[in-house]
Amino acid sequence: MKICVVGYGAMGKIVCEMAKEELAYPVALECEYKTLEETDKAFDVIVDFSNPANLDMIVSFAKKYHKPVVFATTGYTNQEELKIRDLSKYVPVLRSANFSLGVILLNRLVKEITPILKDSFDIEIVEAHHHNKVDSPSGTAKMLLDSAISSTEFVPNYTRVGYSPRKPNEIGMHSIRGGSIVGEHKVLYCGEDEVLSLKHSAHSKKIFAVGAIKAAHFLVNQEVGLYDMEDVLFGGK
């Protein structure tokens, strides 16, 4: 299997280093190949660790040459997410807000625990990242929120300020930005006289590269469709 990595920032470089035995080449403005069309197309799967500005290029190329795509970029708009879903009608696509294997397990726990505790515990989500992260809340925090909402139909609260009391049917979402924090996510279930905390801390960006490469191996053997990291860990569709 040969991987083409789109993006040569911090994560793109790590993926290229960790996948060097399977790396075809990176595609980025600072690299030899600045667009996918400039390449020789001699690769099996695209791993995107760039930014949403490259989405149209990736979508058109993948459709034209029938290349599977692992989307590891965050910060997409709702309209851009729809473009990714549409692409999955033509080629295998894997989209995840986080490629840490530990985070995917955390998300599975949220899906299982929330229905049990929703009637007697308040739910709060806290995420922390380095000061250069541009999107907020993080894609991972949104994923955890979606998993909690799916079994509660609660309403997210992103701006708890002032003197209004907490509503019983809301989930608080809190973002912290500072220093060089790689990534921390915590889901709090706050009951009377007890608190259950589910927390994941990333200590290196390498964990995301490991997951993305594992996703690429999974995706090249799949049929057309939309997949996520739970399919990788717990079985494909």
Per CATH, domain 3-95+206-234 is 1.10.1500.10: no
42/44 Cα distance (integer angstroms): 7
**What residues contact residue 81 under an 8 Å CB cut-off, 6+ apart?**
95
Domain boundaries, the chain: 3-95+206-234, 101-202
Could you tell me which residues are beta bridge partners of residue 5?
Answer: 26, 47
pLDDT of residue 197: 98
pLDDT of residue 236: 52
pLDDT of residue 74: 83
pLDDT of residue 210: 95
Catalytic residues: 129, 133
End-to-end CA distance of the chain: give it in Å, rounded.
Answer: 21
pLDDT of residue 177: 97
Q: SS3 for 49? A: coil
Task: Note down pLDDT in tens along the chain; length 237 residues.
Answer: 999 999 999 999 999 999 999 999 999 999 999 999 999 999 999 999 999 999 999 999 999 999 999 999 988 999 999 999 999 999 999 999 889 999 999 999 999 999 999 999 999 999 999 999 988 999 899 999 999 999 899 999 998 888 888 998 999 999 999 999 999 999 999 999 999 999 999 999 999 999 999 999 999 999 999 999 999 998 855
CATH number of 101-202: 3.30.360.10
Distances (CA, A) of 11 to 18, 40, 97, 206, 213: 11, 23, 14, 8, 12
pLDDT of residue 230: 92
Q: SS3 for 14? A: helix
Helix (H) or strand (E) holding 202: strand 194-202
CB 76 within 8 A of CB 55: yes
37/60 Cα distance (integer angstroms): 10
Helix (H) or strand (E) holding 215: helix 206-219
Three-state secondary structure of 95-158: ECCCCCHHHHHHHHHHHHHHHHHCCCCEEEEEEEECCCCCCCCCHHHHHHHHHHHCCCCCEEEC
